[in-house]
Structure 1
Amino acid sequence: MEEDYVVVPNILVMGAAIMMEKLPHFLKVLISGALTGLGQDAFMNRTVGEIMWGYDDPLIDVLNSFVPGLIPFKGKFGLFMDFNNSNTGLFTVYTGATDINQIHIVDTWNGLKKVNYWRSNECNMINGTSGEMWPPFMTPSSSLEFYSPDACRSMKLVYEQSGVFKGVPTYRFVAPKTLFANGTDYPPNEGFCPCRESGIQNVSTCRMSAPVFISHPHFYNADPVLVEAVDGLHPNKEQHGLFLDVHPVTGIPMNCSIKLQLSLYIKEVSGISQTGQIKPVVLPILWFAESGAIEGSVLKQFYTNLVLLPSVLEYVQYICIGLGVALIVAAIVLEVKRQEKCFLFWSSNKKTKEADLALSEKPLTPVKGTVLQEASL
């Protein structure tokens, strides 16, 4: 797959053209001549691996010689070159020792309480967690907030529905339509501008001023104008939407699928002949999907401890309640029977005594005959 060749926009040329648009015309003509001498064109044929992880390109040094610092690296360029064998920064998070609702919440990222990429304090805030776990005891009104270093911003996912993942109950959270909406459609996002159509976000402020945009793949949930401008795009939720399935009691993700698209804004730039007569368009370069799920022994242990045992204990609870009620009823029945026996015994004795008393009070019938007197010796 990484050895396959693909034709894509020459990101360095087209990106640099937009970045140099406001330079003096004569300087742009000189740069265009240098690009021609290096055999650079608007599009290039490279392997997937080269585009992702980097390729040597003398154009970088040439551009930096004309405009020092335009491209802040040397010799090699790749979309994910800086992410290979790297980390996402140092997150300092709360332990939840004093407030369980604060567990995993980010305090600082790389020592920062907020970033300075955007135009409003709200958009620069570092909210939520690092995206690995969330506070426990979620409800359908909960949301998933996390800071994404790749997107240079905090994001919020919203509850969609309840479900079950391999026997474990989950809440599914998805990206709302407002996630990448522009400031016109969703005023709180005004701080992320300069904006274009709704559904894409300009990340040039944290990506070396390159005209790069992030969005859902195929411009899903974006302005239809973006889809219509590029042939072959067919956005749909199943293939291009992102989601996280989280166990609501623990806040642990059980299953996830994160999909994002990188696009490059290209257009004709006066003085740069390589841009030809390209009409302004946000052109998708690639989209990627990151997915994962808890499996194997970890899933088995999770299911046993957090699903099976609580269910068994719940049944045991009802069984104990049932046994308790049965014992109470049995004790009452036995007590009632004992009282009945005592009453019957008392009634029987009473009748016997009454009969004896009646018999003793009955006059004796005289008997005729000789009365024998006891002889005294």
Structure 2
Amino acid sequence: MFFHLWKDLPVPFYFSIYLFEVLNPDKVLVGMKPAVQQRGPYVYREYREKNNITFHENGTVSYREYRHFHFQPDMSNGTEEDYVLIPNVLVLGAAVMMADFSAPVQVAVSTAFAFFKQKAFMNRTVGEILWGYKDPLITILNTIKPGLLPFGDQFGLFVGLNNTDMGLFTVNTGVDDISKVHMVDTWNGLKKVSYWRSDQCNQINGTSGELWPPFMTPSSPVEFYSPDACRSLKLQFEAPGKIKGIPTYRYVAPKTMFANGTDYPPNEGFCPCRQSGIMNVSSCRLNAPMFLSQPHFYNADPELLETVDGLHPSEEKHGLFLELHPLTGAPINVSVGLQISLFIKRVPLISQTGRINTVVLPLVWFQERGEIDGELLNQFYIILVLIPAVLGYLQYCVLGLGGVLLITSAFLWLRSKVSKTQVSSLAFLGNVDRDICKAATLSTRSVFLKHYSIDVDSRNDASPQGAGRVSAEEIHRGYHKASLQVHPGHANLEDKAKATQHFQLANWLRRTLPTGCGEGRLTRIPVYGL
């Protein structure tokens, strides 16, 4: 079951994309604040397929996971043919990248832009912006700087995402240690990447972001390596919950996830940094001046919101969270949203940049979300909740039945034990009672035992014999009262209990003997409970 759960993750994933359209491009070119408007979502059904699955003797398995995206018109707010005006990444990005180049190179680049009629902003369809478009400028840029754009003659924000794999993952199977199952051993053969400036930031930690080890607790670490972010992302536990009866643990992104090194020193290795809440990913994005953050600069420095109009961060809409089933580590509800922004500034010798102010301008944000629902949710409920609950109740029933049987067996054993004790005690007390009968007179006489004494009180006016020895018949008829006195030196609960038991046995003997003291036959005394 768990192999198929891992190989073909049953959670349906959707990839929602939102573009930021620039409303005032001309004003931006003269140094005014950019104003943006969110367009979308443009929703794609995301299909994942693991291929080249290879198990290794060291308890790991390798695979490549391919992603395919299919547009969902009924879930989208628009079509792939919609035109959106956004920054021209080739122009503004290249300008920043060449800001330190020599003046002749900058002039040559600006001339090439003008020749191909490239401007700082462009108006293209959603499909072109996302999945690529052809442009002769791309060939020119690759000629000036070989390898600048590795996707041939096409450029798009997600041109290398569709119908491609996410790299070669090698993960633990958990055969030797279940707590390590799904944990990444290597990615593309690497134990760590080399994008960042510290070993800690380069570490590949956590899982591949699909499943986590079972038997989770609130203190269990939840971390995953994201090739899109070029780093591992660690979440923090927020609260337990339930989704339609299935128990979950909710994990969210901490505010320190994209904090700069000043606010959060462990992130110093991701610098050079700007404001907190955005991470410079140029080192893993072909040196393009790109920044990664949560959507609408959520959890980021408020200064970023002051430089761009039209952003409205919201925890409900833009928070990153995972809701996992703690027993299995399977995702029940997932929402991972990230934003890509372009750092732009004026480069004097590249005229296309005009008098643009230095600003981190949002381009696009995307959200991968998945939630188990429908028939699949019912199956999960039966397997993960109902069956364990029934087994739990059966366990208590079995324990209860076992307890009843144990108590019954103990009761029968004790009864048998008490019955045997009664026979022994009756033999002893029978002799004591005969001694009492022989020694008792009209005055009160006491026969002291080890822990107690039995007093036989003879009343002159009540005794048929009037005087002399007290017969068992008189005792039997109740003319003489036997009373218990506990010896002071043995006045504790255990002795009282023993004395009471023996006294009750003596009275039972008195009531049972049908003949005189000397004629009593213990063999005729029936043995039964008091």
TM-score using structure 1 length: 0.88
Whether 1:179 and 2:341 are equivalent positions in the alignment is no
Whether 1:251 and 2:329 are equivalent positions in the alignment is yes
What's 2:114 paired with?
Answer: 36
Whether 1:190 and 2:268 are equivalent positions in the alignment is yes
Pick from 391, 411, 432 the counterpart of residue 313 of structure 1: 391
2: distance between equivalents of 1:184 and 1:280?
21
Pick from 148, 152, 155 the counterpart of residue 226 of structure 2: 148
Instruction: Give aligned pairs, total.
Output: 357
Secondary structure at 1:289's aligned position in 2? strand
Asked if 2 retains the 8 angstrom alpha-carbon contact of 1:134 and 1:252, the reply is: yes
What's 1:374 paired with?
Answer: none
1: distance between equivalents of 2:153 and 2:395?
69
Q: 1:41-80 alignment to 2 at 5 Å?
A: 41-80=119-158
Q: 1:229 to 1:327 in 2, by over 3 A?
A: same
Whether 1:221 and 2:383 are equivalent positions in the alignment is no
1: distance between equivalents of 2:178 and 2:415?
55
More strand by share: 2
What's 1:367 paired with?
Answer: none
What code does the residue aligned with 1:138 have? Answer: M
Asked if 1 retains the 8 angstrom alpha-carbon contact of 2:281 and 2:291, the reply is: yes
Deviation per residue, 1:35-56 (Å, 9 max, x gap): 1121111000011111000011
Asked if 2 retains the 8 angstrom alpha-carbon contact of 1:124 and 1:153, the reply is: yes
Asked if 2 retains the 8 angstrom alpha-carbon contact of 1:194 and 1:202, the reply is: yes
Query: Displacement, 1:156?
Result: 0.5
2: distance between equivalents of 1:356 and 1:317?
60
Asked if 2 retains the 8 angstrom alpha-carbon contact of 1:25 and 1:270, the reply is: no
Pick from 352, 356, 360 the counterpart of residue 514 of structure 2: 352
Asked if 2 retains the 8 angstrom alpha-carbon contact of 1:184 and 1:190, the reply is: yes
Q: 1:8-27 alignment to 2 at 5 Å?
A: 8-27=86-105
Query: Displacement, 1:165?
Result: 1.4
TM-score using structure 2 length: 0.64
What code does the residue aligned with 1:205 have? Answer: S
1: distance between equivalents of 2:292 and 2:412?
77
Q: Percent identity?
A: 61
* CA-based RMSD: 2.4
2: distance between equivalents of 1:110 and 1:34?
38
Whether 1:120 and 2:120 are equivalent positions in the alignment is no
2: distance between equivalents of 1:28 and 1:165?
57
Query: Displacement, 1:354?
Result: 4.5
Query: Displacement, 1:72?
Result: 2.9
What's 1:364 paired with?
Answer: none
Asked if 2 retains the 8 angstrom alpha-carbon contact of 1:212 and 1:264, the reply is: yes
Secondary structure at 2:160's aligned position in 1? helix
Secondary structure at 1:146's aligned position in 2? strand
1: distance between equivalents of 2:339 and 2:404?
64
What code does the residue aligned with 1:80 have? Answer: F
Secondary structure at 1:188's aligned position in 2? helix
What's 2:166 paired with?
Answer: 88
Deviation per residue, 1:139-188 (Å, 9 max, x gap): 11122111111111111011010001121111001110111011111111
Structure label with greater radius of gyration: 2
Pick from 242, 260, 284 the counterpart of residue 206 of structure 1: 284
Secondary structure at 1:118's aligned position in 2? coil
What's 1:301 paired with?
Answer: 379
